[in-house]
């Protein structure tokens, strides 16, 4: 996809498909997702709730609950190996060691009946062959690294003795404990207060750039991605609809859905009375997607062709792709003007 | 911790007073006159009247109650009106078989119930799960006395592996003790394990859906560690609670079991004494059983703090 690439990307996701089965229907939560992630870069995966971004993350880790979910196709090439072809025990060596993951709910992501120390040391003992004592020492350093004061004594604490922000710091410490090549943050800051969100994001950014870890930020918050990601994938109804550098995605979006997302975020550089323009309509029923482009019913640019054929990602600029028949015509203007009614 | 235990112990006082009130009322509201029975068939009305005065049965009911409470609190359980033996002595001769039954029966129920429940939850939806659930359904729905009779019929009468009835104390013969207890302990264990299986399965399935189980997997832990280190401990509280309930079940279960297997324990003493209208014995035994039950539940409450650090003592 990037013709001038010389180094092989850290992660190559190819035509990934994860479906959820119920007796009456099939939900194509992830339906042919393809993207690359380069060593050390920060990539944003953006979309509304239910668009399949979290399922994508869980699929990379092969943590999809089966049943009802199943990874039905595609490749996840990580450091030259297809993770989907690994045995369960080989995959367990990837989880926690090569790829760390942080989840949305800091309140429920840590085990309430185990100490913070124990939850930090178990991965160290497992992947780094540390003794209990070594692991405990390292756990103290890690807590210190993520900015928890008095780290050594906090190791004996239980999760309920910490605030949400602190717990998410602990999660970061756990996820980074074995020096992974990739950190996946699945809505890691969504449940936190805005000020804490920024702290946690700064921390992740700072640590991953220091450790050379690639970062995949999954969020519905465009502001987060704008600030922290090098490149952005915009996902809608199980597919990536636009991908490009952060600057391109914000400066010259080429997919109507991206435009809609940007228009529904308040901006400081617009007149104060400007009304927000939410995307009209609703997310389509994922169990019963219509033929053609899944976004066309909500789209201002839709043409007849959109009802018949689902566009695939095509080049819309340098390192910028959009899955839209009308991508050449799409820009932020029309929707923004409409918003001033 | 000490303050908590003291508080919980104090809280048992009103419970025991209430139990005492109920026990006393039940015995005194039941038809049948103890004095009549004691005096025998050849006693005249005067003899019965005299006996009634001796026993204090002619006093107002509330006075009888306060006197009984006063004596019990001082540790004087009184005497059987059937054979005149002191109740403390009666209890001490009868408690060994009952304790043996309840302890081993409870132990068997836990050692059967928890692993079967874990297996059912772990292999949810498979034939192992269905087997576990079948076990639980049968254990709950089969009446204890019927299963007891079947056990006796198959293993004692036909196969002759175990004695049909009776109890051999540990002092007399160790093998006799084991053989006489095997079938009744099996009965208590099987019926007792059923609820434990259900609760273990349900509780684990709930924990498996928790976010922190996904976190544990995302660290690369083997499923074994996820189950034993992360899930089972978090699922322990409902399981321990149901084991506490089982203690109550064991008390009633012991009455049935001792009757079916003709074991001279406390349960049998209860049923015999009810039949004889031996009200001082019945009252004291009810109080004793209630006390044991309350203590077991106190232990269960204390164990919460061990399993879940969020429980503040």
Domains, chain B, ordered by start: 96-268 (1.10.3720.10)
User: Is the CB of residue B227 less than 8 Å away from at least one CB of chain A?
Assistant: no
User: Is the CB of residue B311 less than 8 Å away from at least one CB of chain A?
Assistant: no
Nearest to A113 among B211, B214, B307 (CB): B307
Q: Are A241 and A226 in contact (CB under 8 A)?
A: no
How many angstroms away from the CA of A97 is the closest CA of chain B? 7
Q: Are A84 and A62 in contact (CB under 8 A)?
A: yes
Structure-token match 């913070």, residue found:
A116
| Pairwise CB contact (< 8 Å): A122 & B221 | yes
Structure-token match 């054929």, residue found:
A309
pLDDT at B163: 82
Nearest to A103 among B211, B230, B310 (CB): B211
Q: How many helices (H) and strands (E) does chain A have?
A: 11, 12
Q: How far is CA B82 from CA B6, B48, B268, B275, in A?
A: 38, 15, 15, 11
Inform me whether the pLDDT recorded for B29 exceeds 90.
no
Residue A277: CA count within 13 A, CB half-sphere: 23
B contact residues 129-188, partner A, Cβ 8 Å cutoff: none
pLDDT in tens, B61-73: 788 888 888 888 8
| Pairwise CB contact (< 8 Å): B234 & A174 | no
| Pairwise CB contact (< 8 Å): A108 & B212 | yes
pLDDT at A338: 46
The domains of chain A are located at 11-98+180-338
ω before A68 within 30° of 0 (cis)?
A: yes
- The alpha carbon of residue B26 and the mean position of all alpha carbons in its chain are separated, in whole angstroms, by 20
**Cα distance between residue B72 and residue B214, in whole Å:** 56
For domain A11-98+180-338, the question of CATH label 3.40.50.300 is answered with yes
**Cα distance between residue B105 and residue B130, in whole Å:** 24
Residues of chain A with Cβ-Cβ distance to B207 below 8 Å are none
Nearest to A113 among B215, B220, B233 (CB): B233
| Pairwise CB contact (< 8 Å): A111 & B234 | yes
User: How confident is the model over B259-285, as a mean pLDDT?
Assistant: 84
- The alpha carbon of residue B280 and the mean position of all alpha carbons in its chain are separated, in whole angstroms, by 21
User: Is the CB of residue B239 less than 8 Å away from at least one CB of chain A?
Assistant: no
A70: left (phi over 0), alpha (psi -120 to 50) or beta: beta
Residues of chain A with Cβ-Cβ distance to B219 below 8 Å are 95-96, 122-123, 126, 174
A→B interface, C-beta within 8 Å: 61, 63, 89, 92-97, 100-101, 103, 105, 108-114, 122-123, 126-127, 158, 160, 171, 174-175
Q: How many CB atoms lie within 10 A of CB A150?
A: 10
DSSP 8-state symbol, B170:
T
Q: Could you list the pLDDT tens digit for every one of the 341 residues in chain A?
A: 444 556 788 888 999 989 888 888 888 888 888 888 988 899 999 988 878 888 999 999 998 887 788 888 888 998 888 988 889 889 999 998 999 999 888 888 999 888 999 999 998 998 888 888 888 988 988 888 888 888 888 998 999 888 888 888 899 889 888 889 999 998 887 777 778 888 888 888 888 888 889 999 998 888 778 888 889 999 988 888 889 888 888 888 888 888 888 887 777 777 777 777 778 777 778 777 878 888 888 888 877 877 778 888 888 788 888 888 877 777 776 544 444 43
DSSP A75-134: EEEETTEEGGGS-HHHHHHHBTTTEEEE-S-TTTSS-TTS-HHHHHHHHHHHHS---HHH
User: Is the CB of residue B304 less than 8 Å away from at least one CB of chain A?
Assistant: no
How many angstroms away from the CA of A127 is the closest CA of chain B? 8
**Cα distance between residue B116 and residue B128, in whole Å:** 9
A320-322/A26-37 β-pairing: unpaired
A99-102/A182-186 β-pairing: parallel
Give the tokens for residue B125. Answer: 């939806």
pLDDT at A152: 87
Q: Are B68 and B61 in contact (CB under 8 A)?
A: no
Burial code (b: 16+ CB inside 10 Å, e: under 16) for A220-233 equals bbbebbbebbebbb
Residues of chain B with Cβ-Cβ distance to A114 below 8 Å are 229-230, 233
pLDDT at B159: 87
pLDDT at B200: 92
pLDDT in tens, B184-207: 899 889 988 998 999 999 999 999
Per-chain mean pLDDT for chain B: 84
- A187's CB contacts (< 8 A; 6+ apart) are A54, A103, A104, A218, A219, A220
Three-state secondary structure call for residue A316 = strand
Residues of chain B with Cβ-Cβ distance to A101 below 8 Å are 218
Residue in chain B lying closest to A114 (CA)? B230
Q: Where are the beta strands (DSSP E) in A177-245?
A: 182-186, 214-219, 231-236, 239-245
User: Is the CB of residue B210 less than 8 Å away from at least one CB of chain A?
Assistant: yes
Burial category of A135 from C-beta neighbours within 10 Å (exposed 0-12, middle 13-18, buried 19 and up):
buried
Give the percent of chain B with pLDDT over 70: 96
Nearest to B211 among A92, A105, A113 (CB): A105
Interface test with B, best of A64, A111, A171 (most B CBs within 10 A): A111
Residues of chain B with Cβ-Cβ distance to A86 below 8 Å are none
Residue in chain B lying closest to A67 (CA)? B125
Q: How many CB atoms lie within 10 A of CB A105?
A: 20
Residues of chain B with Cβ-Cβ distance to A93 below 8 Å are 220
DSSP bridge pairs for A44: A217, A232
How many angstroms away from the CA of A132 is the closest CA of chain B? 15
Residue that wins the pLDDT comparison between B289 and B110: B110
pLDDT in tens, B94-152: 888 888 888 899 899 999 999 999 999 998 888 999 999 999 999 889 888 898 889 88
pLDDT at A337: 46
Which helix (H) or strand (E) segment holds residue A30: the answer is: strand A26-37
pLDDT at A333: 60
| Pairwise CB contact (< 8 Å): B211 & A108 | yes
Q: Are A293 and A299 in contact (CB under 8 A)?
A: yes
Interface test with A, best of B208, B219, B228, B233 (most A CBs within 10 A): B219
Residue that wins the pLDDT comparison between B221 and B77: B221
pLDDT at B110: 92
**Cα distance between residue B240 and residue B234, in whole Å:** 11
Which helix (H) or strand (E) segment holds residue A170: the answer is: helix A164-176
pLDDT at A326: 77
Taking CA A257 as the corner, what is the angle to CA A251 and CA A259, rounded to the nearest 5 degrees?
A: 30
Inform me whether the pLDDT recorded for B154 exceeds 70.
yes
**Cα distance between residue A273 and residue A96, in whole Å:** 48
């Amino acid at each position: 996809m990037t013709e001038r690439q010389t180094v092989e990307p850290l992660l190559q996701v190819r035509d990934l498909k994860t479906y959820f089965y119920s007796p009456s229907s099939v939900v194509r939560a992830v339906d042919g997702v393809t993207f690359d992630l380069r060593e050390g870069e920060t990539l944003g995966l953006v979309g509304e709730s239910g668009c399949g971004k979290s399922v994508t993350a869980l699929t990379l880790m092969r943590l999809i609950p089966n049943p009802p979910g199943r990874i039905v196709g595609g490749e996840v090439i990580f450091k030259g190996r297809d993770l989907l072809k690994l045995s369960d025990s080989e995959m367990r060596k990837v989880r926690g060691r090569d790829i760390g993951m942080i989840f949305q709910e800091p309140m429920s992501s840590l085990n309430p009946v185990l100490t913070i120390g124990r939850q930090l040391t178990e991965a160290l003992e497992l992947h780094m062959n540390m003794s209990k004592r070594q692991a405990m020492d390292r756990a103290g350093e890690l807590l210190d690294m993520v900015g928890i004061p008095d780290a050594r004594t906090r190791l004996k604490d239980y999760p309920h003795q910490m605030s949400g922000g602190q717990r998410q710091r602990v999660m970061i410490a756990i996820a980074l404990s074995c020096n992974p090549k990739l950190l996946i943050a699945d809505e890691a800051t969504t449940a936190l207060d805005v000020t804490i969100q920024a702290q946690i994001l700064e921390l992740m950014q700072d640590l991953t750039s220091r450790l050379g870890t690639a970062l995949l930020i999954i969020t519905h918050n465009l502001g987060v991605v704008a600030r922290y990601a090098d490149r952005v994938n915009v996902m809608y109804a199980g597919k990536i609809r636009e991908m490009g550098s952060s600057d391109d995605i914000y400066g010259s979006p080429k997919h109507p859905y991206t435009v809609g997302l940007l228009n529904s975020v308040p901006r400081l550089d617009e007149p104060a009375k400007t009304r927000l323009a939410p995307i009209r309509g609703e997310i389509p029923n994922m169990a019963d997607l219509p033929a053609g482009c899944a976004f066309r019913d909500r789209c201002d640019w839709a043409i007849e062709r959109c009802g018949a054929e689902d566009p695939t990602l095509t080049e819309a600029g340098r390192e910028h792709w959009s899955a839209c028949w009308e991508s050449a015509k799409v820009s932020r203007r029309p929707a923004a003007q409409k918003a001033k009614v | 911790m000490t303050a908590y235990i003291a508080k919980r112990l104090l809280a048992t006082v009103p419970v025991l007073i209430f139990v005492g009130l109920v026990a006393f009322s039940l015995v005194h509201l039941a038809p049948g006159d103890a004095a009549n029975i004691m005096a025998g068939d050849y006693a005249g009305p005067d003899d019965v009247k005299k006996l009634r005065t001796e026993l204090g049965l002619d006093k107002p009911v509330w006075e009888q109650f306060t006197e009984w409470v006063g004596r019990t609190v001082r540790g004087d359980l009184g005497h059987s009106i059937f054979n005149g033996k002191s109740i403390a002595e009666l209890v001490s001769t009868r408690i060994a078989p009952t304790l043996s039954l309840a302890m081993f029966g409870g132990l068997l129920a836990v050692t059967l119930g928890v692993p079967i429940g874990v297996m059912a939850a772990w292999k949810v939806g498979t034939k192992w799960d269905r087997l576990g659930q079948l076990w639980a359904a049968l254990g709950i729905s089969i009446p204890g006395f019927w299963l007891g009779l079947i056990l006796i019929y198959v293993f004692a009468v036909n196969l002759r592996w175990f004695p049909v009835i009776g109890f051999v104390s540990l002092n007399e013969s160790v093998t006799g003790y084991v053989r006489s207890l095997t079938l009744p302990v099996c009965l208590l264990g099987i019926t007792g394990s059923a609820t434990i299986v259900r609760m273990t399965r349900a509780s684990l399935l709930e924990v498996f859906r928790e976010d922190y189980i996904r976190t544990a997997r995302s660290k690369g832990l083997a499923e074994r560690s996820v189950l034993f280190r992360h899930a089972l401990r978090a699922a322990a509280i409902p399981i321990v609670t149901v084991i506490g309930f089982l203690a109550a079940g064991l008390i009633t279960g012991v009455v049935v079991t001792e009757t079916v297997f003709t074991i001279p324990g406390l349960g049998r003493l209860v049923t015999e004494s009810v039949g004889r209208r031996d009200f001082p014995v019945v009252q004291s035994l009810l109080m004793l059983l209630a006390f044991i039950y309350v203590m077991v539940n106190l232990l269960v409450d204390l164990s919460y703090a061990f399993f879940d650090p969020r429980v503040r003592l």
